[in-house]
Amino acid sequence: MSTNNTYLAVFLGSKTSPRRVVWDALPEGDRRAKEREGMAAWKAWVEKHHAAIVSMGGPLGKTKKVTQRGIDDTS
């Protein structure tokens, strides 16, 4: 637990996940429209919460994850 109320949010994705397969199957126009909608929602969220955001961060690249089996590579 952070003693200064600073947290790191990590989002994982996979090029082979079922949701990604569905996304890739969308017509390009539909994908682009959903991308614009998602970016607009993200920007609105950032504007609303900007005072609480320490760093926007960026991709971490290959890393590890904790699972019930122990530590595994992320895909």
> Could you report the per-residue pLDDT of 26-72, keeping only the tens digit for each?
999 999 999 999 999 999 999 999 998 988 887 777 778 888 899 88
Alpha-carbon gap, residue 35 to 37, rounded angstroms: 5
pTM for the whole structure = 0.63
- Sketch the domain layout of the chain as residue ranges: 18-73
CB contact burial 2-23 (16+ within 10 A = b; e otherwise): eeeeeeeeeeeeeeeeeeeeee
Instruction: Tell me which amino acid residue 52 is.
Output: A
Pairwise pLDDT comparison (25 vs 72), residue with the higher score: 25
The whole-number pLDDT of residue 32 equals 97
